[in-house]
């Protein structure tokens, strides 16, 4: 098979790029190792808080409109607590002059909506379940061979195959991976008291705990915590786990009842030196992995997909999509956002993990000061919403 653009990985980021290129006139192939996601009645424990900018992007792709509205939840306010029991910062959609700060959505539902659109997209070959087994990057094409023996030759090959990217490794991109020694424990709960569309986050001695509002009196949590504590949480009987999560959240939402069993994801920091080469580009977690404390990983990935699609759409029709100068333009347009998000999430993780008393005073003072200066708060909120 010969196409203009081949994408490895139809996760949220790879699928959104393929969809964003639907009107580009380019022929596409997407190679995905897993079967398409099934619809389930249960709530997905992977919940993402999507920025309004990325919701607008998904709207243009037709994916946002395809979601069941009863399963997405607007976030109208956000409160973040320091670890001294007093310090906090609050953001509200009202203060920022917008209707909502973010939208919480199930990973599986969004994945399914995108996949259904890809199935109907002309000039797109869905190659699944399949994994690439070899890669040859030549002057005119990048050629993949899949484990089923299929050959896919493209003028541009995009690695959207997640944190352990095969494309990144096989093409020899330099990556620096550093495990945090932490896991993100996720689970969904029914809560006794209404959350009123407010996301809550506590920087605690035992990690960072976030409550993300879901439709109705439900929440999803992400508790980023040391491996040993994560193992302890995962081994608790459900009642004890619920009580521990409610207590860690200062009883704010009353009693919690488990809706989905907890799952734990290893947390890693990953920085990739270049995300573009002649005929090759990396997007999403293949290009950067950040700590989930800011809930920005997939948002950053959608930013990559938006930027790469824009560069490919804006080129003159005759221009080779794998041309390095074009791909460098994409790389440059993403450099600042990726670096800023890496520094902020990594810096916060280190700042709140440090146990020295002076660091504790400094970080809590930082929260209070930021809360007291409306200009900085509005600036932070606007940046997070783009």
Ligand X SMILES: Cc1cc2nc3c(=O)[nH]c(=O)nc-3n(C[C@H](O)[C@H](O)[C@H](O)COP(=O)(O)OP(=O)(O)OC[C@H]3O[C@@H](n4cnc5c(N)ncnc54)[C@H](O)[C@@H]3O)c2cc1C
The residues with which 137 forms a beta bridge, in sequence order, are 142
Q: Which of 4, 32, 109, 337 binds ligand X (CB under 6 A)?
A: 32
**Assign residue 254 a region: left if phi > 0, alpha if psi is -120 to 50, beta otherwise?**
left
Q: Which of 87, 153, 154, 296 binds ligand X (CB under 6 A)?
A: 296
Q: Is 265 in the site for ligand X (CB under 6 A)?
A: yes
Q: Which of 43, 115, 166, 180 binds ligand X (CB under 6 A)?
A: 166
Q: Which of 82, 213, 292, 321 binds ligand X (CB under 6 A)?
A: 292
Contact 28, 18 (CB under 8 A): yes
Closest approach of ligand X to the CB of residue 161, in Å: 4
Closest approach of ligand X to the CB of residue 159, in Å: 9
Closest approach of ligand X to the CB of residue 319, in Å: 26
Which 79-138 positions form the footprint of ligand X (CB under 6 A)?
131-132
Closest approach of ligand X to the CB of residue 129, in Å: 8
DSSP string over 158-220: EE---TT-HHHHHHT--EEEEEEEEEEEEEEEEESS--TTEEEEEEETTEEEEEEEETTTEEE
Q: Is 53 in the site for ligand X (CB under 6 A)?
A: no
* Helix boundaries (H) for the chain: 12-20, 52-61, 93-96, 107-119, 166-171, 227-235, 238-248, 297-314, 324-353, 357-372, 374-385
Which 185-204 positions form the footprint of ligand X (CB under 6 A)?
186
Closest approach of ligand X to the CB of residue 358, in Å: 30
Q: Is 222 in the site for ligand X (CB under 6 A)?
A: yes
Which residue stretch of 27-35, 59-67, 193-201, 238-246 sits at the interface with ligand X (rule: CB under 6 A)?
A: 27-35
DSSP string over 80-102: EE-TTSS-EEEEEHHHHTSS-SE
Q: Which of 284, 303, 321, 322 binds ligand X (CB under 6 A)?
A: 284
Closest approach of ligand X to the CB of residue 185, in Å: 8
The residues with which 145 forms a beta bridge, in sequence order, are 134, 151
Closest approach of ligand X to the CB of residue 356, in Å: 27
Given the complex with ligand X, which of 14 and 207 has the nearer CB atom? 14
Q: Is 123 helix (H, G, I), strand (E, B) or coil?
A: coil
Which residue stretch of 3-11, 192-200, 236-244, 365-373 sits at the interface with ligand X (rule: CB under 6 A)?
A: 3-11
Given the complex with ligand X, which of 214 and 360 has the nearer CB atom? 214
Q: Is 207 in the site for ligand X (CB under 6 A)?
A: no
Given the complex with ligand X, which of 310 and 359 has the nearer CB atom? 310
Count of residues of this chain found to bind ligand X when the rule CB under 6 A is applied: 32
Which 241-260 positions form the footprint of ligand X (CB under 6 A)?
none
32 φ, ψ (degrees, to nearest 5): -130, 135
Per residue in 153-166, is it b (16+ CB within 10 Å) or e — as a string? bbbbbbbbbbbebb
CA distances from 151 to 36, 126, 154, 288 (A): 22, 14, 10, 28
Q: Is 30 in the site for ligand X (CB under 6 A)?
A: no
Given the complex with ligand X, which of 161 and 331 has the nearer CB atom? 161
Distance of alpha carbon 214 from the chain centroid: 17
Closest approach of ligand X to the CB of residue 303, in Å: 10
Residue reference for tokens 């917008």: 98
Given the complex with ligand X, which of 236 and 359 has the nearer CB atom? 236
Rounded Cα distance between 216 and 73, Å, is 9
Tokens describing residue 252: 């704010």
Q: Which of 43, 48, 330, 352 binds ligand X (CB under 6 A)?
A: 48
Q: Which of 4, 161, 170, 182 binds ligand X (CB under 6 A)?
A: 161
Contact 202, 209 (CB under 8 A): yes
Given the complex with ligand X, which of 286 and 367 has the nearer CB atom? 286
Tokens describing residue 282: 């990396």
Closest approach of ligand X to the CB of residue 65, in Å: 20
Contact 39, 180 (CB under 8 A): no
Residues lying near ligand X in the complex (CB under 6 A): 8-14, 31-34, 48-49, 131-132, 160-162, 166, 184, 186, 222, 265, 284-285, 292, 295-299, 301
């Amino acid at each position: 098979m010969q196409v203009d653009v081949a994408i490895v990985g139809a996760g949220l980021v790879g699928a959104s790029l393929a969809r964003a290129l639907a009107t580009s006139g380019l022929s596409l192939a997407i190679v995905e190792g897993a079967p398409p996601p099934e619809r389930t009645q249960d709530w997905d424990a992977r919940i993402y808080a999507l920025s309004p900018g990325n919701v607008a992007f998904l709207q243009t792709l037709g994916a946002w409109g395809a979601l069941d509205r009863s399963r997405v939840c607007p976030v109208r306010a956000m409160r973040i607590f320091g670890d001294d029991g007093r310090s906090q910062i609050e953001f509200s959609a009202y203060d920022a002059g917008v209707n909502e700060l973010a939208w919480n959505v199930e990973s599986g539902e969004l994945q399914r909506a995108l996949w259904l659109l890809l199935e109907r997209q002309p000039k797109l070959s869905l190659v699944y379940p399949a994994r690439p087994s070899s890669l040859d990057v030549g002057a005119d094409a990048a050629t993949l061979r899949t484990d089923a023996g299929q050959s896919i030759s493209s003028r541009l090959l995009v690695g959207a195959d997640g944190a352990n990217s095969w494309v990144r490794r096989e093409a020899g991109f330099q990556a620096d991976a550093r495990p945090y020694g932490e896991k993100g424990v996720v689970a969904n709960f029914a809560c006794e008291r209404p959350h009123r569309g407010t996301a809550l986050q506590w920087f605690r001695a035992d990690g960072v705990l976030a409550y993300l509002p879901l439709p109705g009196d439900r929440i999803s949590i992400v508790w980023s915590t040391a491996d040993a504590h994560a193992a302890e949480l995962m081994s608790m009987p459900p009642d004890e786990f619920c009580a521990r999560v409610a207590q860690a959240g200062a009883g704010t939402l009353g009693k919690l009842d488990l809706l989905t069993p907890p799952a734990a994801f290893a947390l890693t920091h990953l920085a990739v030196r270049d995300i573009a080469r002649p005929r090759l580009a990396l997007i999403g977690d293949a290009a950067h992995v950040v700590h989930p404390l800011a809930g920005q990983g997939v948002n950053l990935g959608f930013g990559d997909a938006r930027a790469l699609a824009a560069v490919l759409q804006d080129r003159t029709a005759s221009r080779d999509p794998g041309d390095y100068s074009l791909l460098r333009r994409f790389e440059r347009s993403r450099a600042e956002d990726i670096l800023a998000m890496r520094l902020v999430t990594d810096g916060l993780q280190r700042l709140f993990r440090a146990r020295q008393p002076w660091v504790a005073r400094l970080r809590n003072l930082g929260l209070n000061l930021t809360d007291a200066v409306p200009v900085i708060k509005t600036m932070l909120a606007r940046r997070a919403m783009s």
